Amino acid sequence: MFLATKEIWHNKMRYGLIIVTIFLTAYLIFFLTGLAVGLGRNNRTAIDQWPAQQIVLSNYANQSLVASTITPQQVQAAGLTQKGTPMGQTSVVVKAQGKSAKIDGTLFGIRWNSFIAPKLTAGRLPRQTNEVVVDDGLLAAEISRGDKITLNGSKTLYKIVGVTHDNRFYTVPVIFTNLSTFRQQRYGSDNVNNISAIVLRHKTTLKGDDLVQVSKAALINHIPGYTAQVATFGLMIGAMILIIFLTIGIFMYILTIQKISLYGIMRAQGIGNRTIVGALFSQILLVSLLGVVLAVLALGLTHAVMPAKVPFYSNWWLTLILGALNVLIALLGGAISLPKILKVDPLAAIGGD
Amino acid sequence: MALIELHQVTKTYGQGHKAVQALKPTNFKLMPSEFLAITGPSGSGKTTLLTIIGHLQQASSGSIQVNGQDTSTYSTKQLTKLRFNEFGFILQASNLIPFLTVSDQFKLVDRLTTKGKLSQTPTALLDLLGIGDLKDKFPNQLSGGERQRVAIARALYNDPDIILADEPTASLDTSRALQTVGILAQVAHDLHRGVIMITHDTKLLGDTDGVYDMRDGQLTQIK
């Protein structure tokens, strides 16, 4: 560490630029990964929150919640009358009373006492038919708790009495209502007793073949566009990470090779490989750690200033894994030059005839 | 006992009809407090001999003893340790680490030495060489003569028995060169070390105890 810190301190500009380079590339990885993960999550967080294993859908919906309709007769025929909890899903446009902004949302009609009722971050659960709970993503616009809203231009006004977090489906915030409101919105009448799905805590046996039960993962993968979107962003981010990591690795290799003559002098003086290699790796570790720590700080700052409507998400585990990979690849870049360092000829430092 | 003793040492580069004998069978001995010089034209094999003595490269044949110990069976690790403990190198080009100040060059030795308390402090050595005020300077802030004197102090600091100096005056004017050779003689005679200096400048041989001439790989004692 003595040699490593002395060299960094002596060549402040050079190592400062290297730290800035690692900081920028690590931040780019964190930021773009955060956007891709955020967008992916926005499709599914409402489903992720269900403490459920299986979801029963119409067999004709191709495992897609948005395409599923289940009639009361199908529920009865499948023997599901007493099992799970029903839910309905439909797309809505939300508009607050007296305000102009229209916001896309997804309506989840549920029973308030069921196990898929949302956890509230503010307010209370509805007590009356025209009360709703909304995801806080909806509050980013002109809407706030206590406001009255219309759904798809409805004459009925619905009061926002509760707020929940991380409840998005198909990238838009979820508006939780009772099943009656869902039926009004989806079928134009609450006399139609259809639902979209039955959510089950555990797998069950279904009678007949009108209905099918799918896992949460399958349900998520059949959200329209989700799999293609995740695969596309995954490939883009993966390729970017690979290229950046290769660049950092090559960068570290070149940096090390440039110092071969210095290692020759050290070897001539009788300084062992252990000291030389230790100095090299502690230097790479210091420089890459500093760059990654700066990138993590910048990520924290990004989190603080990022508008809520931007689908940005990062967590400590993801950041830790990407940061650790960054440091590891930098060390690997140094390691590639290891054979050259170990074989460095001290005679090269001597010169002469 | 000789500090270093070479018996029938040779060095050949290449093989078969392309083989070049850089060092013909050589016998050589360095005693404590002895200051020896090796002269000769460029390409004659002076540095080859010095690097073999300093265990920076292996001889093709013959044996070398350091303080009575045959080093022919030493591993790379043992040779590195031997170089650090028994030899002090002063090279043509400055062998100082460019990002360490003069005092840090000595701190590095402190961190690596296994000899415990060394006989001289860096301050005493730098004062002895007349450069006590350069402690906080980096090598690139020193003149050629100052760099060579720091290199001498650095070479002496770990209490090596043998100092190997390869053209230590190459970058110095005549008065500085004479002064540097005087210091090496002082190191040999007052500090009881063995010093071998390679030079092609015959004006610098006055303070030496013995002079060898190297021509086409053949070493001959001329003084």
Q: Delineate the domains of chain B, giving CATH numbers in brackets.
A: 30-58+71-221 (3.40.50.300)
Residue A322 inside a domain? The answer is yes
Check pLDDT > 70 for residue A344. Answer: yes
Q: What is the pLDDT of residue B114?
A: 77
Residues B171-200 have pLDDT tens digits of: 778 887 888 899 889 889 988 899 999 998
Query: Tell me: the pLDDT tens digits for A42-60?
Result: 999 999 999 999 999 999 9
* Res A343: pLDDT: 82
Structural domain contains residue A58: yes
Q: Are residues A89 and A168 in the same domain?
A: yes
Same domain, A191 and A129: yes
Residue of A nearest to B97 (CA): A262
Same domain, A164 and A19: no
Residue A163 lies in a domain: yes
At which of A188, A222, A256 does a domain end? A222
Q: Are A10 and B111 in contact (CB < 8 Å)?
A: no
Residue A353 included in any domain? no
Nearest partner of A50 among A117, A116, A118, A125, judged by Cα = A116
If you average pLDDT over every residue of chain B, what do you get? 89
* Section B68-85 average pLDDT: 90
Q: Do A267 and B46 touch (CB under 8 A)?
A: no
Residues A206 and A262 both lie in one domain: no
What value does the mean pLDDT take over residues A251-263?
Answer: 86
Regarding whether A208 and A91 lie in a shared domain, the answer is yes
Please indicate whether residue B169 or residue B98 has the higher confidence score (pLDDT). B98
The predicted pLDDT at position A327 comes to: 93
Residue where one domain finishes, among candidates A197, A222, A247:
A222
Q: Considering the domain boundaries, does residue A27 fall inside one?
A: yes
In-domain check, residue A341: yes
Judge: A349–B93 Cβ closer than 8 Å, yes or no: yes
What amino acid occupies position A242? L
pLDDT of residue B167: 87
Query: What average pLDDT does this structure show over B151-160?
Result: 87
pLDDT for position A245: 86
> Each residue of A268-323: pLDDT tens digit?
888 888 899 999 999 999 999 999 999 999 999 998 898 877 889 988 898 999 99
Task: Summarize pLDDT for A114-128 with one digit per residue, the tens.
Answer: 999 999 999 999 999
CB B164 within 8 A of CB B92: no
Helix or strand or coil: residue B165? strand
Q: Are strands B162-166 and B194-198 parallel, antiparallel or unpaired?
A: parallel
Number of folded domains that form chain A: 2
More reliable by pLDDT, A220 or A139 = A220
CA-nearest residue to B46 within chain A is A353
Q: Are residues A215 and A79 in the same domain?
A: yes
Range of the domain at A295: 2-43+227-348
Question: Do A126 and A240 sit in the same domain of this protein?
Answer: no
% of chain B at pLDDT higher than 90? 45
- Quick one: A38 and A60 in the same domain? no
Asked if residue A210 and residue A94 are part of one domain, the reply reads yes
In the numeric block, the tokens 């040699």 are attached to A3
Neighbour tally for A235: CB within 10 Å: 10
Residue A337 has pLDDT above 90, yes or no: no
Distance CA B38, CA B36 (A): 7
> Which residues of chain A have a CB within 8 Å of the CB of B51?
347, 350
Q: What is the pLDDT of residues B86-115, one digit of tens each?
A: 999 887 766 789 999 999 999 998 888 877
Give pLDDT tens digits for B32-66: 999 999 999 888 889 899 999 999 888 999 999 99
Checking ipTM against 0.85, whether it exceeds it is: no
CB B151 within 8 Å of CB B96: yes
pLDDT at position A38: 92
pLDDT tens string A201-221:
999 999 989 999 999 999 999
Residues A190 and A338 in one domain: no
Residue A214 lies in a domain: yes
Whether residues A62 and A76 share a domain: the answer is yes
**Integer Cα distance of A226 and A43 in angstroms:** 7
- Coil/strand/helix, residue A101: coil
Pairwise pLDDT comparison (B158 vs A183), residue with the higher score: A183
Contact across the interface for A2 and B111, Cβ inside 8 Å: yes
pLDDT at A289: 96
pLDDT band at A141 (very low <50, low <70, confident <90, very high): low
The model's confidence at residue B127, banded by pLDDT at 50, 70 and 90, is confident
Residue in B closest to A272 by C-alpha: B80
Query: Region B14-18: what's the mean pLDDT?
Result: 83
Domain boundary among A222, A251, A286: A222
Strand partners, B197: B37, B165
Residues of chain A with a CB closer than 8 angstroms to some CB in chain B: 2-3, 6-7, 9-11, 262, 265-273, 275, 346-347, 349-353
On whether both A50 and A176 belong to a single domain, the answer is yes
pLDDT of residue B129: 80
Report whether pLDDT(A352) > 70. no
Q: Which helix (H) or strand (E) holds B197?
A: strand B194-198
The verdict on residue A51 lying in a domain is yes
Q: What pLDDT band is residue A235 in, cutting at 50, 70 and 90?
A: very high
Give the residue from A10, A269, A346 showing the smallest Cα distance to B109: A269
